Amino acid sequence: MSDTNPEQTAPDPTTAYPQPPQPEQEQPAPGLEQEMTPRPDHGEGSYVGHGRLEGRVAVVTGADSGIGRAVAIAFAREGADVVLSYLPQEEPDAQEVVRLVEEAGRRAIAVPDDLSTEDANVRLVRSAVEQLGRIDVLVAVAGKQVAVESIADLTSEQFDLTFRTNVHALFWLTKAALPHMPPGSAIITTSSIQAYNPSPTLLDYASTKAAINTFSKALAQQVAPQGVRVNVVAPGPFWTPLQVSGGQPTEALPEFGAQTPLGRAGQPAELASTYVYLASPESSYTTGATVSVTGGSPTP
């Protein structure tokens, strides 16, 4: 033992991934991962599966990019077939995920659709059940986030669409899916640190993320007797298309993530194992929980 630092055996989380400042950039929503600089890390080159979801059927919304892509890659490498939901204009990103899931030796079912209506959510569940027979893991990641400085400029149309995409779709999707989810199944929803610590520019979005958290905790109690678990992931700042396509004011992007205790934005790859844990029977006594992955920013 020396009296200085002992020898380092694990990566330092403060320096393990790209550091701010990020270059300023802007895309029209929903944005493409392929056009971001730097490209986010979804675990393409790093995630190693251990058979923890062998033979499962998973539905992942927002699966083309960002957090949903990292989940789809990890689930496939853990042995799951994956139904990929995304918007039609995200096809170029989605095709990369299809390829990655198939390279893992699993089936990828691509279902492009806009989930802001009940019909679309019912169609997504029907596609999954028709092609793969049931749903073992339902992962709701899709979300809409558009920063607006003043309530005076926040339109009723945006307020309504943010709620329909983030909250109503979750209601419609879980309602349609539950009859097809056997005991042992898991639902995982995606809230945000915004649920607890809202930005002044995200009135509508932050409110939906609080609603997702509360909805999930109520549903968890309701379906526990059926042997279905419901848990929530609450990310802090992650480097994804959502943020460079209107989620943040453009001038805030260079320092995005810098205010966290770890001093940088998270990469989607750093969230995948949380979703895998909540999907697998390793977390069999965990339901109604929110797991915060925030780079150290405090949450309740």
- Catalytic residue list: 205
Question: Is the distance from CB of 162 to CB of 205 less than 8 angstroms?
Answer: yes
Binding residues for Mg ion (CB under 5 A)? 64-65, 90, 241
x/- binding map, residues 102-141, to ligand NAD, per CB under 6 A?
A: ------------xxx------------------------x
Of 158-177, binders to ligand NAD (CB under 6 A) are 165
CA distance 166 to 243: 16
Cβ 237 to ligand NAD shortest distance, Å? 5
Gap between the Cα atoms of 140 and 187, Å rounded:
8
How far apart, in whole angstroms, are the C-alpha atoms of residue 253 and residue 258? Answer: 10
Question: Do the beta carbons of residue 191 and residue 212 sit within 8 Å?
Answer: yes
Indicate which single residue of 174, 216, 240, 290 sits in contact with ligand NAD (rule: CB under 6 A). 240
Judged by CB under 6 A, does residue 67 bind ligand NAD?
A: yes
Residues in the chain: 300
Closer residue to Mg ion in complex, CB, 26/255: 26
Instruction: Among 49, 241, 246, 295, indicate the residue that binds ligand NAD (CB under 6 A).
Output: 241
Grouping H, G, I as helix, E, B as strand and the rest as coil, residue 61 is strand
Q: Does 64 bind ligand NAD (CB under 6 A)?
A: yes
- Which of 76, 242, 272, 278 binds ligand NAD (CB under 6 A)? It is 242
CB of 47 to Mg ion, least distance (A): 19
Cα of first residue to Cα of last residue in the chain, in angstroms, is 38
Q: Are 106 and 100 in contact (CB under 8 A)?
A: no
Distance CA 260, CA 144 (A): 23
Could you tell which of Mg ion, ligand NAD, none binds residue 275, using a CB distance below 5 to 8 A set by kind? none
Residue 167 token pair:
């909250």
By the rule CB under 6 A, 295 interacts with ligand NAD = no
Which member of 73, 82, 135, 145 binds ligand NAD (CB under 6 A)?
A: 145
